[in-house]
Amino acid sequence: MVRPREFDEEQALDAAMRLFWEKGYEATSLSDLTSRMGIQRPSIYSAFGDKKELFESALRKYTKMHASQIRNKLQHNESVKEAFRSLFTGLVNDEYNQSPNKGCFCINTMVELAPHDEKFEILTREHQMYLSAIFQEALERAIHSGELTTNMNPKALAQTLVVSLIGLTVLLKSRPNRSFVDHSIETILTLLK
Amino acid sequence: MVRPREFDEEQALDAAMRLFWEKGYEATSLSDLTSRMGIQRPSIYSAFGDKKELFESALRKYTKMHASQIRNKLQHNESVKEAFRSLFTGLVNDEYNQSPNKGCFCINTMVELAPHDEKFEILTREHQMYLSAIFQEALERAIHSGELTTNMNPKALAQTLVVSLIGLTVLLKSRPNRSFVDHSIETILTLLK
DNA sequence: TTAATTTTGTACTGATCAGTATGTTATGTC
DNA sequence: GACATAACATACTGATCAGTACAAAATTAA
């Protein structure tokens, strides 16, 4: 190497991630990307490949970040029930306080690209499976500790919570009444007994 | 009027609906539309306005059709519990047997356009509210008839079912294991006691 | 048959798209 | 300090985008 990069790759990728997250794949142009990433077009291609490859890198960065956030929220809480409650209500608060509503990058990609691109079908599926596994671990901990006394399969319960989280995240994009989502969350949480 | 239309407007709109449903707004070009609708570009503009207006008409056609399908499924069944079960399992079967997975046009639009276009935020929200109202009516019927003996608010329950249906529809786009969705459905249906 | 009017098909518009060729600038090696 | 190398900025490529101008074709009214 003779001349060092003038930009920070991680920082540029982070900017791309936020843009794709906000606008999706098709609606984001290379011009949008160059201006938000603060670098020129050939720099993008040399550092990240073409638009699809950059998108994939951005999504991978997101899923790592997202999974770690969820893990933290589930671990840094005495009560597993309370952890799930604050996970759901936190999501609702976040989404109501931002405009436009970005939702979850992985879910957005599941809708936009997964049906037409197997790579993203797999990538998004694996993330949901991973979230489900994290949820399951937390539920099993709670059962073990006696906090949860359920006769339900923790795996099935975890899967249901993933489905509910997806449903809430998507529904929030239409900005329904708070009561709609609040009541839904309360009802879903009755499964944790 | 001097020269009659050579094409059937409803038929052309139906074709546009299916195309937007499958590919979304951005990924569908005017050239795609002309070839699938079987009419020329100026005919589209004179009959339906620009691309966004055509999309809106297509979505309205879809939500009408979708709502009526759901109504039928909930009414043409002795048992309300069974009706909900067959609604959920029917969705899963349909989605597994088609490629690419189209999901729900309204949900797709909620993800792609609602966060950036208030018109579609409202349109998609109203459809979900309507579905929730239909669900609630069915649940109240079941409570009245004695089929359902729950101490839960039927409204909250209906809203939760809407959230779950959205979550399942979106998750199916990543083609998870059957067991994942099957277990989720079973768990969700335990709310109907 | 003629005039008026609307739809049709073709071909075009300027803008924007993703991706790249090219020459300049900056750095490390010798 | 000369040379090799890689990143940089600019400007371009052909393709495609949404939308439209325009003239030919088709129909009804007179």
Asked whether the beta carbons of B159 and A186 are under 8 A apart, the reply is no
Q: Is residue A13 part of a domain?
A: no
Residues 6+ apart with CB under 8 A from B113: B25, B120
Q: Is residue A18 part of a domain?
A: no
Q: Is residue B6 part of a domain?
A: no
Instruction: For chain B, give the percent of residues with pLDDT over 70.
Output: 99
Q: How far is B174 from chain A (nearest CA, A)?
A: 5
CB spacing of B121 vs A170 below 8 angstroms: no
Q: How confident is the model at residue B98 (pLDDT cuts 50, 70, 90)?
A: very high
Bases of chain D with protein Cβ within 7 A: 4-11, 16-22, 25-28
Enumerate the residues of chain A whose CB falls inside 8 A of the CB of residue B109.
Answer: none
- Judge residue A179's burial from the number of C-beta atoms within 10 Å of its C-beta, 0-12 exposed, 13-18 middle, 19 or more buried: exposed
What pLDDT is attached to residue A128?
98
Q: What distance in Å separates the CA atoms of residue B107 and residue B109, rounded to the nearest whole number?
A: 5
What pLDDT is attached to residue B147?
96
- Minimum CA–CA partner of B181 in chain A: A159
Q: Is residue A120 part of a domain?
A: yes
- Judge residue B78's burial from the number of C-beta atoms within 10 Å of its C-beta, 0-12 exposed, 13-18 middle, 19 or more buried: exposed
Tens of pLDDT, residues B123-175: 999 999 999 999 999 999 999 999 999 989 999 999 999 999 999 999 999 99
The alpha carbon of residue A23 and the mean position of all alpha carbons in its chain are separated, in whole angstroms, by: 15
Tens of pLDDT, residues B101-127: 899 999 999 999 999 999 999 999 999
Best residue in B119, B159, B163 for a mutation probing chain A (most A CBs within 10 Å): B163
CA of A23 to C1' of D8 (A): 28
Average pLDDT, chain B: 96
Q: Is residue A17 part of a domain?
A: no
Mean pLDDT of B68-96: 95
Q: How far is B124 from chain A (nearest CA, A)?
A: 6
Q: What distance in Å separates the CA atoms of residue B154 and residue B162, rounded to the nearest whole number?
A: 12
Alpha carbon distances (Å) from B172 to A70, A156, B61, B88, B98: 22, 16, 23, 12, 11
Asked whether the beta carbons of A111 and B111 are under 8 A apart, the reply is yes
CB spacing of A156 vs B184 below 8 angstroms: yes
The whole domain housing A178 covers 59-189
Asked whether the beta carbons of B186 and B97 are under 8 A apart, the reply is no
Mean pLDDT of B96-105: 93
Mean pLDDT of B23-33: 98
What pLDDT is attached to residue A183?
97
Side-chain half-sphere CA neighbours of A83 within 13 A: 22
Give the closest of A121, A155, A168 to B175, CB-based.
Answer: A121
Alpha carbon distances (Å) from B178 to A24, A111, B86, B92, B175: 28, 19, 15, 8, 8
What pLDDT is attached to residue A1?
60
Q: How confident is the model at residue B88 (pLDDT cuts 50, 70, 90)?
A: very high
Enumerate the residues of chain B whose CB falls inside 8 A of the CB of residue A118.
Answer: none
**Count of domains in chain B?**
1
Q: What distance in Å separates the CA atoms of residue B40 and residue B34, rounded to the nearest whole number?
A: 5
**CATH code, domain with A73:** 1.10.357.10
Buried-state track A7-29, b at ≥16 Cβ within 10 A, e below 16: eeeeebbbbbbbbbbbbbbbbbe
Whether pLDDT at B4 is above 90:
no
CB spacing of B152 vs A103 below 8 angstroms: no
Q: Helices marked H in B97-153 — which ranges?
A: 105-112, 118-145
Q: How far is A4 from chain B (nearest CA, A)?
A: 38
Q: How confident is the model at residue B3 (pLDDT cuts 50, 70, 90)?
A: confident
Q: Is residue A43 part of a domain?
A: no
Helix axes A80-96, A154-171, angle to 10 degrees: 10
Q: What distance in Å separates the CA atoms of residue B65 and residue B80, rounded to the nearest whole number?
A: 21
Mean pLDDT of B73-102: 94
Asked whether the beta carbons of B136 and A164 are under 8 A apart, the reply is no
Q: Is residue B96 part of a domain?
A: yes
CB spacing of A174 vs B121 below 8 angstroms: yes
CA of B186 to C1' of C11 (A): 58
What pLDDT is attached to residue B1?
60
Of A113, A105, A31, the residue nearest A62 (C-alpha): A105
Q: What does each of the 193 residues of chain A score in pLDDT, given as a tens digit?
A: 677 888 999 999 999 999 999 999 999 999 999 999 999 999 999 999 999 999 999 999 999 999 999 999 999 888 999 999 999 999 999 999 998 889 999 999 999 999 999 999 999 999 999 999 999 999 999 999 999 999 899 999 999 999 999 999 999 999 999 999 999 999 999 999 8
- Minimum CA–CA partner of A188 in chain B: B160
Give the closest of A108, A162, A174 to B128, CB-based.
Answer: A174
Q: Is residue B68 part of a domain?
A: yes
Of B130, B158, B129, B128, the residue nearest B142 (C-alpha): B158
Cβ atoms within 10 Å of B37's Cβ, excluding its own: 22
CB spacing of B160 vs A171 below 8 angstroms: no
Q: What is the dihedral of CA B93, B97, B100, B105, to 10 degrees?
A: -40
